[in-house]
Structure 1
Amino acid sequence: MKSNAQHSASQAAAKGNLDIEGRSIDFVPEHERTDKLSTQGPFWFVGNFTFFTMTIGFVGPSVGLSSLWTTIAGTLGIMFGTLFMAFHGSQGPHLGLPQMIQSRAQFGYRGVVLVLLATLFVFAGFNIVNLVLMMQGLNTLFQWGPLQVGLAVTVPATILAILGHDWMHKTFKWSLFLSLPLYGIVTLAVLLGWIQDAPLAANVPAAAPLGFTWIGFIAQFAAGASYNIAYAPYVSDYSRYLPKNTPSGKLIAAVFLGASLSGAWMIAVGGWLGEHLHATDVLVALNSVGASFAPQLGSVVVAVTILAFLPVIAMNIYSAKLTAITGVDSFRKVNPTATVRIWAILFVVCLQLGVAMSIYTSGSGLSVLNIYLVVMLYFLVPWTAVNLTDYFFVRRGRYAIPHFFLPHDNLYGHWGRRGLLAYLIGFLAMIPFFTIFNGPQEVFVGPLARMIGSVDLAWLVGLIVSGIAYYLLCLSLDLDKEEAVIRHIEQHSPQYTTGEGW
């Protein structure tokens, strides 16, 4: 039953007033699902249409790939990662739940905390890396202090995250209008040769020509794949307001096309900047591109770049907030009010800003980017394999939704032994294949990875092993018992029905 506060917030949003979203981790009933399928493609296009995605294209040149091979490897990686992201998106309208609440079916009411910690690391980590990149770039260009940058970025993003779901979609549309002309001009400048290659600095020997290496190709592929697999825990958060009868195939296609097209585009531009401008700071590189047209245009390019990026910062805060609330709710029941959302958002923002300041001060900001992207992939791969295997092959979209919110005597238990064991089996199987580099410097290479030339296949091993392990462990699952409970819910509380399959 919707509370008065939630009802007022929904009515105000419908009238276009500046009000905040009333829901957080709770179920979205059908009469509140006013989103349209047509918004999903542009929304996820903008999510990747950012300066940060360009930095994924820096990986290739840093490990010996030319911009052409960087584009090919990055595009294939983005497409691979987006497949998982897009399939998760179909769960939103079908269940009307945030992604991590649904994960209680696989990992248990409390056991889900294991994957919540991994996903919170991803959400917070994205914003921390983004903030450090902006602090470095704006300090180099305009001598802004890190606290100035942090506040200038996080305050408006925090307000947007507090306003919630509907305003997030609106500002993503505005961001597209800002960024499309900007990155269109940058791309034209690259394609038409309007920008000259940057000369090497004095006393710096010429590097070997960039070309193709298998290690570099797999590293760039993994960076692209991890970037969009990292969106997997987000997608249902922004598709759960779609009507229940939204066609899954069309939704999956919309998310896939939107996120993969913009991701491939930005990685290609980043690869060119990395090879030809020797870029290591993307904002400085974009300033150089703008200044090559007119002296003050560089500053305009940087300003528009950051302004268009604010909704993405807000998106990370929004999903991190849902994850934090779910974690607390797993051990102490939370009333999912707007006030709880606001406090969770403020906690997440303070945490992100504090860690970003610490990393910036240490001077190791950009050097953690490659490591972060790879480690992020390692944490998320077993979860996405277990979750999708459960949704599409084990339970086939049939869930007892009210039981996700029952602390005791719920259908899925406190600790989902099958999901937790499959996650751990998959993660342990990945460790011998771990391949973590900081540029050319080795950080950790597992023994089996070393035997195959330090090619990173850990993510592939994790996907296969976790998915198969979970499926086999679920052969003993009493699905008939679950189906009886679900049918009882459908008869007595039909608003929670999950329909037949996906």
Structure 2
Amino acid sequence: MPPTSSTLVEARSLDWVPTSERHGRVGMQGPFWFMGNFQPFTLAIGLIGPTVGLSLLWTSIAGIAGILFGTLFMAFHATQGARLGLPQMIQSRAQFGYRGVLVPLVGSLVTFVAFNIVDTVIIGSGLQGIFGWNAVVVGIAVSVVATVLAIFGHDWLHLAFKVLIWISLPFWVVLTVGVLAGAVHPTVTATGSGGFSGTGFLVMFTVAASYNITYAPYVSDYSRYLPEDTSPVRIVLSVFVGAAASPAWLIPLGAWFATRLGAEDALAGIHAAGDQVFGGLGALLTVLGVLVLVATMGLNAYSGMLSLVTGIDSVRTLPRTRSVRVVAILALAVVWTVVGVGLSDASEAVNNALLIMLYLLAPWTAVNLVDYFFVRRSHYAIADLLDPDGVYGRWGRRGLIAYGVGILAELPFAHVEGVISGPVAGALGGVDLAPFVGLAVPAVLYLVLSRSIDDRRERAAITRSEQTLDELDGAR
């Protein structure tokens, strides 16, 4: 549904979306997430494989396998938004408690900001190298656009991605066909031809899987306006296909750029390859890639705002107003812009921060999904999620214990260059399996701990909540 004049700037922040305001079609979730991943950041994942000893073929296989695995966890979160009408991290209060949710919120909030820092650096340095534009001016300009898009809100983000997919997709098809048809001539001898490395394969698989797992805290934020009776199967499939298809396209393309063009930078590779297909295509694809990155920055800002507001609200109740949402977005924009324009490249420190945040997000997504699908089976007292004295309490000991144990279990498997290298990761030559351990251990533990939940008390709370929400919806 396109924004209307009466809803030019979204009014809601972390509150429940009533039935009367639900709109949109589940089929649009796929294109939305397809475009969210159809960007230079995704293509850059394909540059990694050759650096760890993989050929074009094995980089593609490992990357696609990892994407399919990671997208499973991301996609299953999508049904929560439509079912509950709440932002993703608000729903986590059921597992961690009204205030306990602050613990996993750290991972989600820092991830959103860190992604925008990296995107600002990628765009600024990339456009400076290609067109000679001032990186600081570019960084500020793209941050302003992303901020405005996030302030306008949910429907405008969906509209931006819808427009971008129609504008940019044909040109990416032309580039890809040009590569396959031999119109783009290799400038270096093919590297890693036929090469396979077990360690390299695991590294590439883990990086690719992690990429979409980090989207898990976003997904419900962009499905919560869908009708409550939206088919869970349809929405999961739509998100899965969309979010997996674009990386499955771009990762092999990035690997080709690395092995055939010697590309070390995604934007530079796109520009060089495009201009070989026909003059000006490289510049056009560069600009279109930047526009998608900017829209994705709006996505990060919007979900970052929801995490920030949820965190503050967990300590001190905030009004559910448009102004609170706008102020939170502006505060985040100042942080990522100042840091982003101050960096000359996508620094190792920021990339390491993103990996560490993944360690924090993997146990969260495991606990959240187990609770939703196997413990409470999508039935929640929604009104109590917005009440510090609700049935879920202020501190959810089961979720917090499972989460904490999950993080501790990750440490022997973790590897962040110059920061941490666990004994298992060291024995595997630096292969980082921590995210997979962080998914498995807390999932099993939380399932065991949840056997003590008072089902009768929760069912009574759900009944009261449904009556409250019916009254609120009927009064509109």
TM-score range normalised by the length of the shorter chain: over 0.9
Q: 1:292 to 1:18 in 2, by over 3 A?
A: farther
How many Å separate the matches in 2 of 1:75 and 1:370? 21
How many Å separate the matches in 2 of 1:447 and 1:473? 29
Deviates more, 1:113-122 or 1:288-297: 288-297
Structure 1: which amino acid aligns with 2:358?
Answer: L
User: Is the Cα contact below 8 Å between 1:74 and 1:221 reproduced in 2?
Assistant: yes
User: Is the Cα contact below 8 Å between 1:101 and 1:404 reproduced in 2?
Assistant: yes
Q: 1:379 to 1:86 in 2, by over 3 A?
A: same
1:237 correspondence with 2:217: no
Cα shift at 1:316: 0.8
1:263 correspondence with 2:243: no
Structure 2's unaligned 5+ residue stretches are none
1:429 correspondence with 2:405: no
Cα shift at 1:218: 1.0
Of 141, 144, 159, the residue aligned with 2:148 is 159
1:135 correspondence with 2:115: no
How many Å separate the matches in 2 of 1:143 and 1:23? 41
How many Å separate the matches in 1 of 2:3 and 2:149? 17
Aligned pairs (5 A) from 1:9-408:
15-16=4-5, 19-199=8-188, 211-360=195-344, 363=345, 365=346, 367-368=348-349, 371-372=352-353, 374-407=355-388
Cα shift at 1:40: 0.8
Cα shift at 1:295: 4.5
Structure 2: which amino acid aligns with 1:217?
Answer: F
Cα shift at 1:279: 1.4
1:247-298 deviation per Cα after TM superposition (whole angstroms, max 9, x unaligned): 1011111010011011111111111112212211111111111222344443
Cα shift at 1:309: 2.9
Cα shift at 1:210: 6.5
How many Å separate the matches in 2 of 1:496 and 1:164? 23
Cα shift at 1:161: 0.9
Deviates more, 1:213-222 or 1:291-300: 291-300
Structure 1's unaligned 5+ residue stretches are 1-9, 201-205, 498-502
How many Å separate the matches in 2 of 1:197 and 1:436? 33
What SS is found at the alignment partner of 2:315?
Answer: coil
What SS is found at the alignment partner of 2:217?
Answer: coil
Tell me what 1:478 maps to.
454
How many Å separate the matches in 1 of 2:245 and 2:288? 21
Cα shift at 1:369: 7.0
1:401-445 deviation per Cα after TM superposition (whole angstroms, max 9, x unaligned): 1111113x22111111111111110010010011234xxxx7532
Structure 2: which amino acid aligns with 1:385?
Answer: A
How many residues matched?
Answer: 473
How many Å separate the matches in 2 of 1:279 and 1:248? 41
TM-score normalised per structure 2? 0.94
User: Is the Cα contact below 8 Å between 1:175 and 1:309 reproduced in 2?
Assistant: no
Cα shift at 1:354: 1.2
Deviates more, 1:375-384 or 1:450-459: 450-459
Q: 1:143 to 1:455 in 2, by over 3 A?
A: same
Tell me what 2:424 maps to.
448
1:150-173 deviation per Cα after TM superposition (whole angstroms, max 9, x unaligned): 122111221111111111111111
Q: 1:302 to 1:245 in 2, by over 3 A?
A: same
TM-score normalised per structure 1? 0.90
How many Å separate the matches in 2 of 1:434 and 1:244? 39
Cα shift at 1:370: 5.6
Tell me what 2:396 maps to.
416
How many Å separate the matches in 2 of 1:495 and 1:123? 35
Structure 1: which amino acid aligns with 2:207?
Answer: A
Tell me what 1:490 maps to.
466
Cα shift at 1:335: 0.5
What SS is found at the alignment partner of 2:343?
Answer: helix
What SS is found at the alignment partner of 2:416?
Answer: strand
What SS is found at the alignment partner of 1:423?
Answer: helix
How many Å separate the matches in 2 of 1:186 and 1:495? 55
